[in-house]
Amino acid sequence: MAVTANIHRKLVARLLLGWLVLSIVLSVAVFFIKLESIDEFVEDLAIAESKPLLHDKKFFTLNATEEEREDIVEKLSIHIEQAHFIKVDLYNAKHEKLYEVAAKNIADIEKIEKYFESKDHTSLFSDNLSYKRVFIDGRIFLQVFVPLFDEANNKYGYFEGVYRADDKTMNDVKHLLIGSLLIVVAAVLVTAIIFYPIVMAMNKDLIKLSKDLSDANIGMLEALGSAIAKRDSDTNSHNYRVTIYAVMLGEVLKLKDGQMRSLIKGSFLHDIGKIAISDNILLKPGKLTQEEFEQMKTHVRHGVDIVEKYAWLRDAVDIVAYHHERYDGSGYLGRITGEAIPLNARIFALADVFDALTSKRPYKEPFSYEKTIEILKGDSGKHFDPALLEVFIGLSGELYGKTYNNEDAVLEKTLNELIRKYF
């Protein structure tokens, strides 16, 4: 179930991401299409406004009388009142400005004029209509240049108009954007919903394969753990209990799912290197000699060599390599100290020693729960991380009561329920 749920979550996340990206892209496209329609409207407006000037070339003479100049300014003012231009300029063919008329009822007109005057007009003087679109204080403005030609196709001047999108146009843009956005969002969402069951159906075999692979990997963990455990005793109880203890402590510490999976793998395989240790040493009922103990310690290196070769087990190395390290640095093999010891290894060390003390071994009888806790407390800051030990002691009584006298079948069921939450 965990594998299937994980695939469902990833598919939903990707469909939602695609929905969001498509919605944004299509909405931006709609916005620019609307801007293009405004550009076309202003082009037509500018051409229409400039047509009356085609038949009145006195607008473009430098020696017009004062009366003629006043008449010209009045006509240009009428163009401003009748259209949406807030500023109209006339230039002769030499790019010399002859007239400039601006609307008197437009707020910040000086700011707008200053903005356009600061721009280089050179690129706008051409034989073709040209324009520049800008946003000022959230409103669209277009600067339009219209070249003027007589009947003989001789250019005699330019009409420049600064167009301000009125409130209706801006509202139309906003309404179109919002409406288009809602339509696009709804359309893409419906498409994603329709595609979801189709994609899931297409991936049915992949989901089954993934689940089978996950089950096989977990089965391999259990098989390897059992093979190792049976070298020390006739049951899998130690592996089951120690993994349950470690997982429950990890949950209390709120470890992330990935770290929990590593903790479970490492707990199963912590002693995998004992495969390389002879029975004479491994099953010896009495205390090991120094030479035998040195041989026993090599199971750490053998274990690392084994798990490092398999990518899916590689994240179990922290526990396999460091579960015999001690908080004060007196452990083996690296003799590292404190928080330099990986967290999973510090967690597992507590679970492992707790179970070893409360269990019967070839060389010892089990200690009582009370005696075990006393020993653990005595090793706080020496063998164990003091902060982790405090947390573990807080939940150890309940764990011990629920697991110590249980048969392997009950322990296996409990452990499988925990494992399925993370694999």
| CA atoms of 133 and 302, how far apart (whole Å) | 72
Between 299 and 175, the higher pLDDT residue:
299
The residue type at 115: Y
* Rounded Cα–Cα distance for residues 270 and 228 (Å): 9
CA distance linking residue 74 with residue 70, whole number of Å: 6
pLDDT for 391 equals 97
What are the tens digits of pLDDT across the range 2-20?
A: 555 666 677 777 777 877 7
- Per-residue pLDDT of 357-406, as tens digits, reads 998 876 678 999 999 999 999 999 999 999 999 999 999 999 898 888 88
Distance between CA atoms of residues 5 and 114, nearest Å? 61
pLDDT value at position 60?
67
Residue 303 has pLDDT above 70, yes or no: yes
Task: Decide if pLDDT at 47 tops 60.
Answer: yes
Q: Which amino acid is at 97?
A: K
Handedness of CA 167, 172, 173, 178 (dihedral sign): positive
CA distance 77 to 69: 12
Pairing type for strands 139-149 and 130-136 reads antiparallel
- pLDDT of 250: 96
Over 90: is that where the pLDDT of 339 sits? yes
Q: How far is Cα 92 from Cα 64, in angstroms, rounded to an integer?
A: 13
How far is it, in rounded angstroms, from Cα 87 to Cα 103? 6
pLDDT in tens, 141-170: 878 888 888 778 888 888 888 888 777 777
Give this prediction's pTM. Answer: 0.57
Q: Which amino acid is present at 93?
A: A
CA distance 158 to 329: 87
| Domains of the chain: residue spans and CATH | 2-176 (3.30.450), 219-419 (1.10.3210.10)
CA nearest 83: which of 56, 110, 115, 44? 44
Residue 48 has pLDDT above 70, yes or no: no
pLDDT tens string 304-333: 999 998 888 999 999 999 999 999 999 998
Express each pLDDT in 166-216 by its tens digit.
Answer: 777 778 777 766 777 787 778 777 877 887 777 767 667 766 776 777 777
In whole angstroms, give the CA distance from residue 285 to residue 144. 99
Rounded to 5°, angle at Cα 357 from 356 and 363: 75
Element containing residue 299 per DSSP (H, E): helix 299-307
Token code pair at residue 327: 């908080």
Tell the burial category of 319 from Cβ atoms under 10 Å away from its Cβ (0-12, 13-18, 19+). Answer: buried
Instruction: Give the residue from 400, 308, 388 showing the smallest Cα distance to 345.
Output: 388
- The per-residue pLDDT for 387 is 96
Extract the tokens encoding 304: 């690392």
The pair of structure tokens assigned to 218 is 């977990």
The DSSP result for 89-134, as a single string, is EEEETTS-EEEEEE-SS-TTHHHHHHHHHTS--GGG-SSS-EEEEE
Residue 55 banded pLDDT, cuts 50, 70, 90: low
Q: What is the mean pLDDT of residues 116-145?
A: 76
Number of H helices, E strands in the chain: 15, 5
Residue pair 75/101 in contact by the 8 Å Cβ criterion: no
pLDDT for the residue numbered 130: 80
Residue 283's identity, in one-letter code, is L
Instruction: Give yes or no for residue 414 having a pLDDT over 80.
Output: yes
What confidence tier does 59 reach under pLDDT thresholds 50, 70, 90? low
Which H helix or E strand runs over 350?
helix 343-358
End-to-end CA distance of the chain: 9
Q: pLDDT tier at 52 (50, 70, 90 boundaries)?
A: low
Contacts of 306 (CB under 8 A, 6+ apart): 269, 272, 273, 275
Sign, CA torsion 306/308/311/312 = positive
Would you state the pLDDT for residue 243? 93
